[in-house]
Structure 1
Amino acid sequence: MLNNFKDFKIPRYEQVRWHIQTLLTESKWDENTPLPTEQEFADKYKVSVGTVRKAVEKLVEEGILIKQQGKGTFLKRPDFESSLLRFFKFRDKDAGYGTPTGVIKKIMVIDGIADINKKLNIGKNKALIYIERMRMVEDKVLLSEKIWLPKSRYEAFATLDPEDFENLLYPFYYKKCGQFVSSAVETLFFITDYKDPYLGNSEQESLVKVCRVAKNLEGEPIEYRESYGLAEKFSYEINII
């Protein structure tokens, strides 16, 4: 199974790590299903259990796998839903922080946009799925989002209506199209002179714009998203220990 690396001086545990990651990607592994045991992987790849353990620990360090005591090792789904909430917060009625509800307002197939397609690492003329979405708390719009997806990866979305979508998008991407978001890079800006139809702001009000490129297990971009929120609702908090 590791013969394709025979001409390269790559440590055995790195070879095993690569094969496990490929297995997760190609088999569309369910994050609720435990991976084979280290002994099973050792038998499969004809290596020692110690080699497999080192490969698995590397994948855990990279945030791809998670070990659960007494249950096994699982594919890890990062908690992207809490990401933007560390920046934008509404108090709920009990003085806690409310959980937003996602509302899809628009979905359509559009022609490629050179700048967006470049971010998604696809040809400039490749078609896109375009989505407009609101994140709401207690009937108030917290975030307005524009989302672009490569149509070639999300063919099933081309025939969906807004009401067909679930509240959480990333699990829905995986369920409908087999696209697993493993990591993301976010960039934050403060902007003016932009009036958002869902936030109901004036052009004089400052907004926070968060640009996100989400990637799959292989590090390929599979979503580009722009999230907009009122600057007055923005907060930043970090604990430095």
Structure 2
Amino acid sequence: MLTNFKQFKMPRYEQVRWHIQTLLTESKWDENTALPTEQEFADKYQVSVGTVRKAVEKLVEEGVLMKQQGRGTFLKRPNFEGSLSRFFKFRDKDACYVVPMGVVKKAVTIEAVDAINKKLNISKNKELIYIERVRIVENTVMLSERIWLPKSMYQPFVGLAPEDFENLLYPFYYKACGQFVSSAVEKLFFITGHVDSYLGNEAQENLVKVCRVAKNLKGDPIEYRESYGLAKDFSYEININ
């Protein structure tokens, strides 16, 4: 029942939407497992099927859920690799576009960093997990990444060796720690004067820096990331319909 919202003037479909989103977060829902049917949700929350349908459609519009014809409704994992391809275009030796392979080079627990803790919206004294990662195409480093995670959310990563991390980090966050990245905010800058040991660039070379704050289904920050790439590889592309 929707007893939690009796004191609020909130549309019932919004109440159902909030309950479904909370269910997905707290139960660490498997993205390969279909959600209960609209009728089952209607029975659970004692509302009409139409109210449930409106709540589900809202979550589909927000990119939280996706419907598959004949299979049901599922948790949707955003394609963050698509973000990478918007900013950079990498080709292999055959001139075909490729997605770089991710390789973790370093993973350690560090003391709090005030500026980073603020971005993650955690107390200034909370420890962090710090990761250095590169993106490689044919043995050449194309992107260099610095990643900070709240240690309290990623305890299974403590003491993990770099080779234990998988190529795609976001599915690994979810599998190992139950942290589901639902959305992200990115800012892009052109910079000089930054020398990156993985890129092997000179100080005078132009770099592109992409700063990302990734968030969970509740909208809480669960990762802060800085990605660096050579400006010569930068390419912005968007389709306008």
Q: Specify if TM > 0.5.
A: yes
Instruction: Letter of the 1:78 partner, please give it.
Output: P
Q: Distance in 1 between matches of 2:117 and 2:175?
A: 24
SS at match of 2:156: helix
Partner of 1:57: 57
Give 1:35-74 correspondences, 5 Å limit: 35-74=35-74
Tell me the number of residue pairs that the alignment of Structure 1 and Structure 2 aligns.
241
Partner of 1:131: 131
Q: Distance in 1 between matches of 2:199 and 2:74?
A: 39
Structure 1 residue 140 corresponds to structure 2 residue 137 = no
SS at match of 1:104: strand
- Confirm or deny: 8 A CA contact 2:35 2:73 kept in the other structure: yes
Instruction: Letter of the 1:153 partner, please give it.
Output: M
Q: Distance in 2 between matches of 1:28 and 1:137?
A: 33
Percent identity between matched residues is 78
- Confirm or deny: 8 A CA contact 1:88 1:142 kept in the other structure: no
Structure 1 residue 107 corresponds to structure 2 residue 107 = yes
- Confirm or deny: 8 A CA contact 2:86 2:238 kept in the other structure: no
Q: Distance in 2 between matches of 1:240 and 1:42?
A: 38
Instruction: Letter of the 1:146 partner, please give it.
Output: R
* Structure 1 outlier segments of 4+, above 4 Å: none
Q: Distance in 2 between matches of 1:2 and 1:216?
A: 23
Please state how far the C-alpha of 1:140 moved relative to its aligned partner. 1.1
Partner of 2:22: 22
**1:169-224 CA distances to partner (integer Å, 9 max, x unpaired)?**
00000011000000000000000001000000000100000000000000000000
Partner of 2:201: 201
Instruction: Letter of the 1:238 partner, please give it.
Output: I
Q: Distance in 1 between matches of 2:62 and 2:188?
A: 24
Give 1:88-237 correspondences, 5 Å limit: 88-237=88-237
Q: Distance in 2 between matches of 1:98 and 1:138?
A: 10
Partner of 1:5: 5
Please state how far the C-alpha of 1:239 moved relative to its aligned partner. 2.6
Instruction: Letter of the 1:163 partner, please give it.
Output: E
Which of 68-77 and 80-89 deviates more? 80-89
Instruction: Letter of the 1:53 partner, please give it.
Output: R
Please state how far the C-alpha of 1:82 moved relative to its aligned partner. 2.0
Q: Distance in 1 between matches of 2:195 and 2:239?
A: 34
**1:106-134 CA distances to partner (integer Å, 9 max, x unpaired)?**
01000000000000000111000000000
Q: Distance in 2 between matches of 1:61 and 1:8?
A: 24
Which of 180-189 and 82-91 deviates more? 82-91
Q: Distance in 2 between matches of 1:73 and 1:64?
A: 10
Q: Distance in 1 between matches of 2:53 and 2:8?
A: 22
Instruction: Letter of the 1:41 partner, please give it.
Output: F
Q: Distance in 1 between matches of 2:99 and 2:59?
A: 30
**1:72-107 CA distances to partner (integer Å, 9 max, x unpaired)?**
000000001221122112212332211211111101
Q: Distance in 1 between matches of 2:93 and 2:206?
A: 26
SS at match of 2:213: strand
SS at match of 1:224: strand
Instruction: Letter of the 1:83 partner, please give it.
Output: S
Please state how far the C-alpha of 1:34 moved relative to its aligned partner. 0.4
SS at match of 1:43: helix
